[in-house]
């Protein structure tokens, strides 16, 4: 049946797409993909018509979807990572609903999950951090201010900051209002791509770390004590491992 699928491609590495997502790519007749954020290897060998969404406005993208579905074709709107985070699919979905075009959202692996995997840790640690906040600083797209970011910062919270590495100095200054200068940080760039890099340090050095590494975009910033398990043996453990009586 003709339908538009909003599909999370995962972060970079083509092998990180879900099985369902890969099967849909094989069936699709039209794929509208998110430019350089999608690894070209994922699109190689597919029989679908390919359209780069970079430079196209909302109306153009929806028109492509409407034309394809009117021909009875399966359409994939391919986003990097997971569609749940900063994918801007709501506007497209609203237009499809106005046009009575059926759609389905298929999740993907978030870059935030891959970053944690590359660091070899979980973001929630018993008695250290049981809350994770995914956020960004506002820019062209309205969003949290530095004051909001400082409000989110707590010793028992892990912060994952998207789309804001170019404002590392502002992030450092905001978080130092609430957190220790020694709070661990990690900056993960181009996760899942051959150029992937991760730099680690402390909050007081965040801006310097980013500048010295030459990281400008396509990076996540992790902040919180959960990152300390890399250096220090965990003194607590999950209740999942208690002996059952």
Quick one: tokens of 100?
């009575």
> Which residues does residue 87 pair with via DSSP β-bridges, in sequence order?
none
One domain, residues 194 and 131: yes
> Which residues does residue 50 pair with via DSSP β-bridges, in sequence order?
31
For 139, other C-beta atoms within 10 Å of its C-beta total 11
One domain, residues 211 and 122: yes
One domain, residues 116 and 72: no
Tell me the CA distances in angstroms from 222 to 16, 110, 157, one per residue in order. 21, 14, 11
Give the residue carrying structure tokens 């935030």.
112
Q: How confident is the model at residue 244 (pLDDT cuts 50, 70, 90)?
A: low
Is the entire prediction scored with pTM above 0.85?
A: yes
Residue 234 has pLDDT above 60, yes or no: no
Q: What is the CATH number of the domain that holds 83?
A: 3.40.1010.10
> Which structural domain range is residue 186 located in?
111-230
One domain, residues 164 and 119: yes
- Asked if residue 240 is part of any domain, the answer here is no
Q: How confident is the model at residue 240 (pLDDT cuts 50, 70, 90)?
A: low
Q: In angstroms, rounded to a whole number, what is the distance separating the alpha carbons of residues 101 and 89?
A: 14
- Asked if residue 146 is part of any domain, the answer here is yes
Q: Parallel, antiparallel, or unpaired for β 184-189 and 219-223? A: antiparallel
One domain, residues 101 and 173: no
> DSSP labels for the chain?
--EEEEEE-BSS-GGGS-HHHHHHHHH-SEEEE-GGGS-HHHHTT--SEEEE-TT--HHHHHHHHHHHHHTT-EEEEEESB-TTSS--HHHHHHHHHHTT--EEEE----HHHHHHHHHTS-S-BTTTB-EEEEEE--SSS----HHHHHHH--TTEEEEEES-GGGHHHHHHHHTTTS-TT-EEEEEESTTSTT-EEEEEEGGGHHHHHHHHT--SSEEEEESGGGGGGTS--S---GGGSPP-
Dump pLDDT digits (tens) for 9-62.
Answer: 999 999 999 999 999 999 999 999 999 899 999 999 999 999 999 999 999 999
Q: How confident is the model at residue 126 (pLDDT cuts 50, 70, 90)?
A: confident
């Amino acid at each position: 049946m003709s339908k538009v699928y909003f599909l999370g491609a995962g972060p970079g590495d083509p092998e990180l797409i879900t099985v369902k997502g890969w099967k849909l790519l094989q069936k699709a007749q039209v794929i509208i993909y998110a430019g350089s954020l999608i690894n070209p290897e994922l699109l190689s060998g597919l029989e679908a018509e390919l359209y780069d969404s970079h430079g196209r406005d909302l109306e153009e993208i929806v028109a492509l979807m409407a034309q394809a579905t009117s021909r009875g074709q399966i359409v994939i709107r391919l986003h990097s990572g997971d569609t749940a985070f900063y994918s801007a699919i709501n506007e497209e979905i609203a237009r499809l609903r106005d046009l009575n075009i059926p759609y389905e959202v298929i999740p993907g692996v978030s870059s935030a999950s891959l970053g944690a995997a590359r660091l070899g840790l979980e973001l929630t640690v018993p008695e250290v951090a049981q809350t994770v906040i995914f956020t960004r600083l506002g820019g062209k797209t309205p969003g949290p201010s530095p004051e909001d970011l400082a409000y989110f910062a707590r010793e028992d919270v892990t912060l994952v900051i998207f789309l804001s590495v170019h404002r590392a100095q502002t992030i450092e200054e905001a978080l130092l209002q609430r957190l220790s200068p020694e709070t661990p940080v990690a900056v993960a760039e181009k996760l899942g791509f051959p150029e992937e890099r991760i730099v680690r340090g402390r909050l007081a050095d965040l801006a310097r770390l980013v500048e010295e590494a030459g990281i400008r975009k396509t990076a996540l910033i992790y902040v919180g004590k959960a990152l300390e398990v890399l250096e220090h043996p965990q003194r607590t453990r999950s209740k999942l491992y208690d002996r059952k009586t």
